[in-house]
Amino acid sequence: MKVRMYNVGFGDCFCLRDRKKSLLVDFGTNNSRIEGRPRREIFDLIISDLSTISSKNLLLTHFHMDHLSGLLYMMKKKDISVDFGKIYLPDVFSKKEMSRTLVLLLLADLLKESGLPSRQVSLFALVDALLENKQNVELLSRGKLFENKYQALWPDVYVIQKETDEVYDQLSKDERFTEVMEVLLEFAEKLRKIIWSMTEEGKEQSEEEQEKISLAYVYDREFRRIKAISKFKDLLNYLNENKVNLRQFKHKISIIFQNAHDGELNLLFTGDAQPEHMKMIAENYDGKLPLYEHYWCIKVPHHGTQGHYFDFSRYEPENMLISNGIHFANSKKESKELRTSPLYGGLFYIPDTHMYCSNCDCCDSYENGCSCKEADVISPAYYKDI
């Protein structure tokens, strides 16, 4: 068993390799250039590397472009065959009421762009790619076993539903936005049904129903219909002016998983886990899935940024993986917030733990006694094996 950690700048891409079957965890970046090279070159290198694996699945922790842009590139490139046996997604698709969460995920993207259509609307882009390249999809939520050796710790569909309702009800009950919220909900339900139809349970629908779902999704027409609603821009302005943080909903649904059974090579992958959810999991809030006392590898949340920092010292990790990289943000403040936290190094370094980072140029520990001393930084190479 080994973990191959790829350098994709401010992004995530890992491959959990063993002799029987490998699991790619995320594949994307936020950067247009990585180590001075166009990102398509790095994507092509990774795709070429993956082509040497005969049996592989993919797990997409959530729907941010820095976690899925490489997958979209892979699916859109016509001369590449997408040969994943299965794609795992967070479960926000199995029940009709989950369409409410999808509305908030859609709005999170639309807020950033405002103009439609947009290639940066990541949930649309993913569904579009999956329609062109039919895949076997499996949905993961807390307690779900997969790959015969891993167990999902998050998302918890009941917690997410409760947090969704708190925000959704506030918007839908505002008379100014009733119409646009209804249209968004209708569209989100179409997206939900499309993904659901790709799962084993969803495939039990009749062929006629599946065809109806596919035909209902007409990309440009649906976008134009939403954009034409008079109150649509008013809704976006309201969300911006009141600083309603919907982007966090993509983090709220992020898959977190560990080995199904305690052993010597325990893994803990945290995606972009929200700090409050990571704390709940560590406290085993429902008494069902405790974390283990010791981990061979822990992938820290969200590029190791301060806003998502979590103290893993109690689990005595042998290796900690930080998928960091320079983020070219719109402001110095935002750029600073997206740097790697000094709490992962220096005085806070966990003894006997190896820190594997993508890049030290964006790390606030580097100037003040970096614990890795550059020995375990991937840059300028494009991957490192742990």
Amino acid identity for residue 219 in this structure: Y
Residue 117 banded pLDDT, cuts 50, 70, 90: very low
Residue 219 banded pLDDT, cuts 50, 70, 90: low
Output 272 or 374, whichever has higher pLDDT. 272
- What's the rounded Cα separation, in Å, for the pair 184 and 362? 38
* Tally of CB atoms within 10 A around 263: 12
Q: Among the listed ranges 16-30, 53-67, 261-275, 372-386, which one has the minimum average pLDDT value?
A: 372-386
Cα angle: 112, vertex 218, 127; to 5 degrees: 60
Residue 116 banded pLDDT, cuts 50, 70, 90: very low
Q: Where in the sequence is the domain holding 192, given as residue range(s)?
A: 92-135+156-254
Given this model, what pLDDT does residue 146 score?
A: 98
Domain annotation covers residue 148: no
- Is the pLDDT at 243 greater than 90? The verdict is no
If you average pLDDT over residues 81-109, what whole number do you get?
Answer: 92
- Is the pLDDT at 216 greater than 60? The verdict is no
Domain annotation covers residue 106: yes
Q: Among the listed ranges 67-71, 245-249, 279-283, which one has the minimum average pLDDT value?
A: 245-249
Domain annotation covers residue 96: yes
Domain annotation covers residue 374: no
- Is the pLDDT at 215 greater than 70? The verdict is no
Residue 81 banded pLDDT, cuts 50, 70, 90: low
C-alpha distances in Å from residue 50, one per residue of 27, 57, 337:
11, 11, 33
Given this model, what pLDDT does residue 41 score?
A: 95
Both structure tokens of 307? 């806003």
Residue 118 banded pLDDT, cuts 50, 70, 90: very low
Range from 90-94, 330-334, 351-355 that averages highest in pLDDT:
90-94
Domain annotation covers residue 39: no
Given this model, what pLDDT does residue 115 score?
A: 44
- What's the rounded Cα separation, in Å, for the pair 238 and 232? 10
Q: Give me the number of domains the chain comprises.
A: 1
Q: pTM score, two decimals?
A: 0.94
Q: Among the listed ranges 36-40, 116-120, 207-211, which one has the minimum average pLDDT value?
A: 116-120
Given this model, what pLDDT does residue 212 score?
A: 66
Given this model, what pLDDT does residue 114 score?
A: 45
pLDDT, tens digit, for every residue of 336-383? 888 999 888 876 778 888 889 998 888 887 766 666 655 688 988 999
| Alpha carbon of residue 191 to chain centroid | 18
Output 87 or 35, whichever has higher pLDDT. 87
> Percentage of residues in the chain with pLDDT exceeding 90?
58
pLDDT, tens digit, for every residue of 283-317? 999 999 999 999 999 999 999 999 999 999 999 99
Domain annotation covers residue 175: yes
Domain annotation covers residue 173: yes
Given this model, what pLDDT does residue 328 score?
A: 82
If you average pLDDT over residues 33-50, what whole number do you get?
Answer: 93
Average pLDDT of the chain?
88
Domain annotation covers residue 66: no
Helices (H), ranges, the chain: 39-50, 65-76, 99-113, 122-132, 157-172, 178-196, 207-216, 219-228, 232-241, 248-252, 275-282, 332-337
Q: Which residues pair with 89 in a beta bridge?
A: 139
Under DSSP, is residue 139 helix (H, G, I), strand (E, B) or coil? strand
